[in-house]
Structure 1
């Protein structure tokens, strides 16, 4: 399931959601991005079906807000949401739409969507349910766009109709309080969900999930009307099941990104980029290029102004914890497991094992020590050159072993390396996915320098 609307063009000029531009708000330059999502993790320990928000200045690396807790919770219908979508309306304010579904009870049939209004995404008002069809089925993954020919917003979502499989349906509204009864918008002849829209050069594009094989496909239309879409791409896949396409225009370059999410609770985002949406050709990004919010599922992304970006951060705050991402295995993060420090493939549970509070160095405040979030009396230290999680015994040796100094990344100066405080010719690195400290110099093999390079993220 999925959602999406307007993007910002290079230099801040607005490019439309599926049918038209974003209206008066286009006068403001977009300098950042906001993401709506919900959370799950492999064992469902992180399952929280409320509205979460994250922000980004570059559109690729994301910072969760409100300590990765919901900023709003639904109280009607199932009392849970999936697939939140942020729409900037013609007047510049926002409406948030979401699937009415708590958890994974796919038999739950709701004809309604959760709806909130917001002036600036810092507060959410007018919470309500919106009925979009009268069928005996669900309404999944809404996305809304302005249709100037109708003078209404088109709400597109997935539902099972007389065909017996999921199709994309559309309902029209002016106020997101009442909507026309849904009609078929796109039916490729097989199960299809998760429509995501954008307009480029007067042509309308919709990407969706082929739900029979969990790949993404792109369609286009000259009118953006119901049943006017034709497929123009081959199947897009990261080599495993993917859904929730989300297309975002860079605020600063002629670059488009498309996000996708895994279909299972093992929520991992994938990203592709192109300089030409019309070509239908997308290049996958290496995990090194982007970082998703912790445990995030099904992103809905909208560009925001500098004032909106700073306002969101000021209102909700940024996390008090960090995660540490490996440079040469960027799908892996530093975590503790049975008190051994290692790097493991994201996502995993307990997810708190990868969360660290970076505090002033215990032996030197100019350095840094890594305190565990879920075992806050314990820190990473080296012992026999191996990194372990251990309780602070108050000794000078412990404090020195648990202190490191940040340096420019040995493999990439825009990343970070960590030099041992009391064995200063040794750096934190992974070997066989286990962390230790080893001597590394500029003359060391490239692999060693890569093993010792990390990125501090959220």
Structure 2
């Protein structure tokens, strides 16, 4: 007997069985890499910061630093004690997030009154804020001088000294911001601060400094980006130093860029490194035009190396003077789940909404819940005859009724058959709607607006294992993911799905659907688990995360 050959055959059979198991089973471990992403903190106003002013903390998020999507439907994420403008936040070596910001007084007519305070708050999770206070860092200049303002603060941590360096712009002895210079103070505990002193004074009026640490061959260099208010129109330059508070080097004419690095009428520069790449983005605020711009470089040392403005960048509407910080994978998901998860149905015991938004479903027929055996706990079994879960009433407004330009639906399912039409998700109807279905050995996602419809599809015939589907609508682009992989995408030409008053829900068609299917029915036969509805368009990595970690 050839024992070696038989052993090889046995191992081949075992390998084949393992491959078959993996082919029909989801991977339920944590993501192999922590790619992370970015948060952008901002306030909102109309162009030239007139008209509407929402002086509160807002968030957006991005995976690539190029396209930024507003969280919380572009509404404030925190109601801090003081008015907020020009927010900047970052995480210290102790794991505490620290937010600094311009905090004007506001008169009875809603007009801002400058003062010499800076706003401050702390958080461990970017959601709950404590130790809120105003910092009086210019007090050593008073009363010998009057301090008109304290604007656009940021901070960096110097790991060589163990001190935080806070810097901002102020004008002394004037009734307007006529001669802003950059000041600094240091602290180790955010309770006791050094006297303020000049950080950077190039001899002209400047404001909005942003500092970027750059590691060059094991040595740190610090690049300072700032708005030159002596230019007409105002725009941005850069300079550098070998230490974060080296005033002489920052002011050295040989260090200050000869050229302006942004277009006219720009301010609020924020430079940041792309995670895992030798590439930096610079974003800036067209303050008089109510929009944002972005440039890129692979050579931060050369001020002439910045690219032309990227026309593919995307920013939240009416975003003003923003700050950017890196996020870990878990930090990013905590913000998405807190501020942009519209509903989450675990389906292990009932159709309850676990998002905290109280959007509980109503059972139709007799769905059967099982407490274990799903991808994450239990699941619901739908009989394909008369079972479903209603999430939206008719007529109605609000959740699953309002118009939208961004939406993501994620769910796990295990189909008993794939030949007949079976609707997994149904929102709206044939005129305006969004839907996911199985039909004739295919998995499809579709949208409709004003009776114009588009759909994408991929082959799907498996009935043995659990599968993850995500349908993403991104301001006209419709994407379909299966088991973490993008399978189909189309530029639909439909930027917005209009408001809809129809019934909607899971596991069936509610009268009509976005594919132009009509009549109540198209019941799904099989199991369903972990349904999540988001008001942001998920990035590819987000979908991978939902697949790898149900």
TM (norm. structure 2) is 0.54
Measure the CA separation in 1 of the matches of 2:106 and 2:446.
43
Corresponding residue SS for 2:259: coil
State whether structure 2 residue 301 is matched by structure 1 residue 278. Answer: yes
Of 306-315 and 176-185, the range deviating more from structure 2: 176-185
Residue in structure 2 matching 1:299, options 322, 329, 339: 322
Cα deviation digits, residues 79-99 of structure 1 (max 9, x gap): 311100012111122101100
Q: Structure 2 stretches of 5 or more lacking a match?
A: 1-32, 140-145, 344-402, 408-426, 436-444, 458-475, 480-487, 495-535, 539-550
Residue in structure 2 matching 1:312, options 335, 352, 358: 335
Structure 1 pair 414–167 and aligned structure 2 pair: CA distance change class (3 A): farther
Q: For residue 355 of structure 1, report the CA deviation from its aligned partner.
A: 6.0
Cα deviation digits, residues 403-446 of structure 1 (max 9, x gap): 32145999x99661248xxxxxxxxxxxxxxxxxxxxxxxxxxx
Of 113-122 and 169-178, the range deviating more from structure 2: 169-178
State whether structure 2 residue 96 is matched by structure 1 residue 93. Answer: yes
Structure showing greater Rg:
2
**RMSD between superposed Cα atoms in Å:** 3.2
1:204 aligns with: 222
TM (norm. structure 1) is 0.64
Residue in structure 1 matching 2:152, options 141, 147, 159: 141
State whether structure 2 residue 82 is matched by structure 1 residue 60. Answer: no
State whether structure 2 residue 374 is matched by structure 1 residue 368. Answer: no
Measure the CA separation in 2 of the matches of 1:29 and 1:133.
41
Matches within 5 A, 1:150-299: 150-161=161-172, 165-200=179-214, 201=216, 202-213=220-231, 214-228=234-248, 229=250, 230=252, 231-236=255-260, 238-264=262-288, 266-280=289-303, 281-288=305-312, 290-299=313-322
Structure 1 pair 29–133 and aligned structure 2 pair: CA distance change class (3 A): farther
Cα deviation digits, residues 104-150 of structure 1 (max 9, x gap): 99972322111111112122112111111124221101110112344
Structure 1 pair 30–117 and aligned structure 2 pair: CA distance change class (3 A): farther
Corresponding residue SS for 2:113: coil
Q: For residue 247 of structure 1, report the CA deviation from its aligned partner.
A: 0.5
Structure 1 pair 239–219 and aligned structure 2 pair: CA distance change class (3 A): closer
Is this contact kept in 2: 1:49–1:103, CA < 8 A? no
Corresponding residue SS for 1:209: strand
Q: Structure 1 stretches of 5 or more lacking a match?
A: 1-27, 321-353, 371-380, 382-401, 420-455
Measure the CA separation in 2 of the matches of 1:169 and 1:295.
29
Measure the CA separation in 2 of the matches of 1:368 and 1:102.
47
1:119 aligns with: 124
Is this contact kept in 1: 2:105–2:114, CA < 8 A? no
Query: Aligned residues, how many?
Result: 327
Measure the CA separation in 1 of the matches of 2:406 and 2:198.
50
Higher relative contact order (CA 8 A, sep 6+): 1
2:84 aligns with: 81
Measure the CA separation in 1 of the matches of 2:335 and 2:314.
19
Matches within 5 A, 1:348-387: 356=405, 360-363=428-431, 365=435, 367-370=446-449, 381=450
Corresponding residue SS for 2:42: strand
2:442 aligns with: none
Residue in structure 1 matching 2:53, options 47, 51, 56: 47
